[in-house]
Structure 1
Amino acid sequence: MPRQDPIGPEFYVPLGTAESISTIAFYLAAVLSIAVLLIDNASQPHLYETVQATFAVSVVAFFLSSIVIRTYFAVRAHSNRVADFVSNAFSVPLVPSPSEGYYNTTATEPYLRMGASVLENTLFTKSILRRMLRFERTRICFYVFAWLCAALNRTTDLEVLAVIAQVLFSEELVSRWIRMEWLRSRVERLYDDLYALIQSTTNFETKEFRARVVEGLIRYETSKAQAGLSLSTRLFKKLDADLSRQWTALSSQLGIGSSSATGP
């Protein structure tokens, strides 16, 4: 079956664009917040005013973009993905253009299809997060080391040091890394739980199995929502082939089948 995913281009591409704009605004504000402290207002008043105005605009742009992402772009994308997910599990079109070939299981029982799809999503998500964390951990270590060096240097201006600390411990740096570590831990635990559930269940029509599958779906979606992170599209494309092979082997082992690649 050819893979068609209308949800990605229609909802996740705009989300990615909005997040890129927000990131640019954050780093611009971070650089300008330090530049303002280094420019002498008395000797360079015009440059100082220009930097101050640009800094104010970038701060407002970052604030507004973050709010719009959280309340519109992210909610819209995640809601449509969940609706598409349920459409696939129960063969009921809850979205105008359901995806085809995006979820990989040949199981026919709706709740087993749902459990298999969540298991597949957790496989992709935890693998992509592990790769994303390589960069995040390196970046945080570098920034923390640089900040400590500046803090231990007696010649460093305290105002500059305070601004750097504010940037470092913001939503975009340390907070983002902590949320990424937390999400990875949650998804890995859910992956193990779902694997054990499907492997140990012989009757997939029991109320207990169905309840645990629904609970697994809720855990997965609420964890992503609480973390407020988007997975790297670049890493997904890079890891897609290898993770698809892993999923094929895993689904065959569990007897739930697979057909083509999918993603988180």
Structure 2
Amino acid sequence: MNDRIDDLDKLYKPVETFNSITTLLFYIGAMLSIALPFFVGNLNESTIQLLTISYVLIVVLHAFSQNIASFYLLPRAEKERRKQLLSNALGVPLTHAETNLYYNNDNNAGLKRLHANLMENSFFGKNICLAMLRPERFKVAAYAILLLFALLYREAELGVLVILTQVFFTGGVLFNWVKLEILRIRNERIYESLYSLHLSHQDTSNGNGMATLLDIFSEYECAKSSASIKLNSKMFHDLNPSLTEEWNSIKTRIGL
């Protein structure tokens, strides 16, 4: 029986919905933008105008859905997640949201528990980012090859080149991959910092140990905020059993 509870799922579901809409609109817009130059001269003027208006609307809706998720829905969910992290770690009810079996450590409330929670979060974060990067890297490589081919092909339409360049650089293909790579790297560094802090046996309840832990906590939250990326829930659920087993093995081995 799975007794895992996470009340914050309801705040992340709208983010996933808007991300799905954004992705769908992006691909529709990309296909339409590539096809439009070929339609000119082959379709009547009213049809071309209708397709052009549709493309503009898709671009506007794409920007709207992307920014709603990035600047409102995701920050709102992450704010509650931050409160819940501190509530679980320090035993202070900063939020009414309830979780059970979300964190896999048995430490008593305090900074040692916060240390373990952050280390677990960064461990899962870096692995899920890596899983998300596999299709992203393929997509970036495919678009880059297509753009390079279009640039080298002398008979390529200028409109096609402009649209491919726009999709690659401003449509999110390139920079979404870059943000995800940076988030993975920062999660790895945070995990390594927490691992080293634990092995150094510094007392995190006061002095330098406490300052170091709180600095790492700030770095972790800044990494999530600057990336503004919702980790893939399906990949999390698929990887959760194996990652949980690996995390429990690490935790036992280092005595966390």
> Please, what TM-score do these two structures have when normalized by structure 1?
0.91
Q: Structure 1's 171 and 220: CA in aligned 2 closer, same or farther, altered over 3 A?
A: farther
d(CA) in 1 for partners of 2:35 and 2:202? Answer: 65
What amino acid is aligned across from residue 3 of structure 2 in structure 1?
P
Contact 1:86-1:114 at 8 Å conserved across structures: yes
State the SS of the aligned residue for 1:103. coil
Q: Structure 1's 171 and 113: CA in aligned 2 closer, same or farther, altered over 3 A?
A: farther
The aligned counterpart of 1:6 is: 7
The aligned counterpart of 1:70 is: 70
Moved over 3 A (4+): none
**Deviation for aligned residue 1:82:** 0.6
d(CA) in 2 for partners of 1:109 and 1:94? Answer: 14
* Runs of 5+ unmatched residues, structure 2: none
**Deviation for aligned residue 1:242:** 0.8
d(CA) in 2 for partners of 1:91 and 1:147? Answer: 53
1:199-223 Cα deviation digits (max 9, x unpaired)? 2115342222222111111111111
d(CA) in 1 for partners of 2:42 and 2:105? Answer: 69
Instruction: Trace 1:227-246 onto structure 2 (pairs within 5 A).
Output: 227-246=227-246
CA RMSD of aligned residues (A): 1.6
* Runs of 5+ unmatched residues, structure 1: 257-264
Count of matched residue positions in the alignment of Structure 1 and Structure 2: 255
State the SS of the aligned residue for 1:198. helix
d(CA) in 1 for partners of 2:171 and 2:229? Answer: 11
> Please, what TM-score do these two structures have when normalized by structure 2?
0.94
Q: Does 1:98 align with 2:102?
A: no
User: Which stretch shows the higher mean deviation, 23-32 or 13-22?
Assistant: 23-32
The aligned counterpart of 1:261 is: none
State the SS of the aligned residue for 2:244. helix
State the SS of the aligned residue for 1:169. helix
The aligned counterpart of 2:15 is: 15
The aligned counterpart of 1:118 is: 118
Q: Percent identity?
A: 30
**Deviation for aligned residue 1:52:** 1.1
d(CA) in 2 for partners of 1:50 and 1:119? Answer: 53
d(CA) in 2 for partners of 1:162 and 1:171? Answer: 12
Contact 1:40-1:48 at 8 Å conserved across structures: yes
**Deviation for aligned residue 1:73:** 0.4
Contact 2:143-2:168 at 8 Å conserved across structures: yes
The aligned counterpart of 1:58 is: 58
The aligned counterpart of 2:187 is: 187
